[in-house]
Structure 1
Amino acid sequence: MRVGIGYNQKCDSVLAGRLAAEQAVGQSGEPAITFLFTTENYAQELVLQAVKEVIGKSKLVGLCTPGIITRDGVLEKGVGVCTISDSEMQVATCLQENVNLSSWESGEEAGRKLRASGIDSGTVFVFPDGFATNISDLIKGMYNALGPNFTYIGGGTGDNLKFFKTYQFTEQGVSSNALAAALVKGISFQIGIGHGWKPVGQPMVITKASGKKVYEIDGRPAFEVYSECLGGIDKESFPSYGMKYPLGIPAVGGYFLIRDPLKVEEDNSIVFVTEVPQNTVVTLMEGTVENLITTAGEVASIAVSGLASPEIIFLFDCVSRYLLMGKEFEQELKEVMNVVGPEVPMIGMLSFGEVGTFSGIPFFHNKTIIVAVGR
């Protein structure tokens, strides 16, 4: 297996796409699969077409992200390309559109399309529209169609926090409100997942919720309860507190799935980045930048554990961690790089939610870092 990584920050969409792809293909040779990461500053169709002209018959999966993660930091404007060549590799891609219409059924349909390739094991790369509704159901539907013989990794696509429009693409074209997915056999991935947030206070119950909006916690207006948990805060202070104090849903093994609060509505309901189902038990979570950084190193250690010669690293890191850490995000990247070593090709993205297999089942995470190491 040969891996190529290319980045370019030229303003011209065609030029940036072509140069990034040429850099990657120059290292890997003719690829079996191409991963394309862009930021919103470009005409996505033009970037895709330019890359396709370089990669030939390669399958492709890609997305728009708030930032492309490199070994040298985050590119808030740029095009990133990862190409992998291997004559024995099997690849299938799917661009499932209109996923908001019926999330579970859309996930199942995408899973059936991938399964129709005849590939019976491997890794599923999952890149849903990060602003879509019921992404958890979308992933569950895909899992229902594909089953447990696959490792699921990826992240929600996004823009630069305008919350306006995101893009997903395969070699078939560019879409929005879609799921771009790739099934790859021939690379074995080992993943580490973690976030560094710790529970504080007593468990609570989401007693009224719809979609991404939580109306009541323990039978009372959601913001009133949330405010009391923090000693009394006002709505103007909520954005800063919400970033530091998410909610956690208890999962297996003492792990918590994080759910990220986004804004308070006039009726004292709270809108979250991801759905929090009604009747779910939740706990207020807290964390420090130091804990988040330490966790990144621990996650990377889990991902490389027992692997003698890793050949590719994918990093999916929540955009809210990036915003919270500011300049200290560089230290989180250093923690990961110190563990995985300086020689292994790496590419990643700032994500609106992260997709990762936990205890054999794929979940949609928030405020989480996922390191996937392949060989």
Structure 2
Amino acid sequence: MRFFSAQSTAGTVSGGVAEIAAQIESCGFGTPDFVALHFGVGLDAAELHDAARSSLGVTALHGGSSCLGIMGAAGVDIGGAGLGAFAIWDAKGSFGTSSVDLGDNAEAAAQRAGLAALEHAGRPGEIPEMVWITVAPGCEEQVIAGLRSVVGADTLIVGGSSADNDVSGKWAQFGPDALHSNGLVITVLFPSVPVASVYQSGYAPTGASGVVTRVEGRRVFEIDNRPASEVLHDWSGGAVSLADEEPHSILAEATLWPLGRVTRQVAGVPFHLLAHPAVAHTDGAIDLFASVFEGDRLWQMQGSADSLVARAGRVAAQSRQNAGNQISGALVVYCGGCMLAVRDRMEEVSAGIKAELGDIPWLGVFTFGEQGAPAGDVAKHGNLMISCTVFSADDV
């Protein structure tokens, strides 16, 4: 089994795809069995999709946009038009990719995509080792539910919600056959080596908490029967502002002040799955980038630039240790909001990951929602999270 990561700083689709294709070809392994291609929205997604299909020749082609760019073994490229690829050759494995528009029933769409990906892999009715996912933001929980109905509750589902640079909806997803703006692309992987994945955040609870008493979808109206925006404003010591005469974005303010739900205890320590507050409304409601439900207890979480910088390396170290320390490739998901908060320190983030993974191919994407499996739990959707998924070396 072989892995390779390639990056291009060409800044154009034609130049970038040509560089990626040349780097992959230089490996001398022939056409890859799987390629994940992630990119900044400074590159035209339709043009990139066409160029990648014609130049790379891979049938399991998985594409998704990433906030500002990508990072990988060759460093960080967040100038807006970064392009990176992660390629796998595995004669003993199987890989299948499919994409769909989410439409008005994301759960059913995910079921269709899962079944089609298994057919593409030549493994219908089987359970893959993992599923790599790129999805448009908005209904990730339904997508995970749909995929679970196909691959089972315990299968590792890991990846991220596609992103743009400013939450204006310019994100894109593509599979071998189609490009989407509100879609889902999944790859089912049956690699010939074991996989290990760690999914965490760089935040800690402040001690303040309350119960959701009114919510509709991802809009929380009340916590402890008080307007949710007032509660968040108080808990954060005023760091997260209130709406004035118009709704306004609180994404940047809330990046270090998200809300968390305890999903399980790990060695007696609670695991908090995070939800990122996005918009404060004049009626006191707040919009989140993840779903919560009436009766959920929300905890005020707090992070710092230092914690966001250090956590990625720790997640990489734990994933390597869980794989027995001998690894040959890795896929990293780092929240786009976290990246924007520590943008001037992303070289430190990348260096910390590289120090723990060693000299192996890896690719990192910056997402507007993260999917992964907390320790001892099934796959979840959260915000402001980090995951590292590693492939064991052949001799492990």
Question: Could you state the TM-score of these two structures normalised by the residue count of structure 1?
Answer: 0.92
Most deviating of 315-324 and 239-248: 239-248
- Paired letter, 2:134: F
The answer (yes or no) to whether the contact 1:122–1:150 under 8 Å persists in 2 is yes
Of 175, 197, 204, 1:198 maps to 204
User: 5 Å matches for 1:65-76?
Assistant: 65-66=66-67, 67-71=69-73, 72-75=75-78, 76=80
- Paired letter, 1:92: G
Equivalent pairs, count: 371
- Paired letter, 1:329: M
Of 301, 314, 328, 1:311 maps to 328
* Residues 1:89 and 2:93 aligned together: yes
Deviations 1:221-248 (A, max 9, x none): 1111112223346437955531211000
* Residues 1:13 and 2:3 aligned together: no
Deviations 1:59-84 (A, max 9, x none): 11111111211231233312212221
User: 5 Å matches for 1:279-358?
Assistant: 279-305=295-321, 306-341=323-358, 343-358=359-374
Q: Where does structure 1 lack aligned partners over 5 or more consecutive residues? A: none
Deviations 1:109-162 (A, max 9, x none): 3233334442433211011112xx321121122112210453211111011114
Deviations 1:203-260 (A, max 9, x none): 2111111222111111111111112223346437955531211000111111000000
1:356 CA displacement: 0.7
| Distance of aligned partners of 1:232 and 1:19 in 2 relative to their CA distance in 1, 3 Å threshold | closer
Deviations 1:256-309 (A, max 9, x none): 000001121122211112222232211100122222333222211210014343
The share of aligned pairs that are identical, in percent, is 22
SS state at 1:336 partner: helix
User: 5 Å matches for 1:210-249?
Assistant: 210-232=216-238, 234-235=241-242, 238=250, 240-249=252-261
Of 157, 164, 170, 2:169 maps to 164
Question: Could you state the TM-score of these two structures normalised by the residue count of structure 2?
Answer: 0.88
| Distance of aligned partners of 1:360 and 1:223 in 2 relative to their CA distance in 1, 3 Å threshold | closer
Q: Where does structure 2 lack aligned partners over 5 or more consecutive residues? A: 244-248
The answer (yes or no) to whether the contact 2:320–2:357 under 8 Å persists in 1 is yes
| Distance of aligned partners of 1:113 and 1:239 in 2 relative to their CA distance in 1, 3 Å threshold | closer
SS state at 1:251 partner: strand
- Paired letter, 2:77: V
| Distance of aligned partners of 1:4 and 1:201 in 2 relative to their CA distance in 1, 3 Å threshold | closer
| Distance of aligned partners of 1:43 and 1:239 in 2 relative to their CA distance in 1, 3 Å threshold | closer
1:89 CA displacement: 1.9
CA RMSD in angstroms, aligned pairs only? 2.0
Deviations 1:27-54 (A, max 9, x none): 2432111111122112222222222223
- Paired letter, 1:4: F
The answer (yes or no) to whether the contact 1:154–1:355 under 8 Å persists in 2 is yes
Give me the whole-angstrom Cα distance separating, in 2, the residues matched to 1:26 and 1:88: 22
| Distance of aligned partners of 1:288 and 1:274 in 2 relative to their CA distance in 1, 3 Å threshold | same
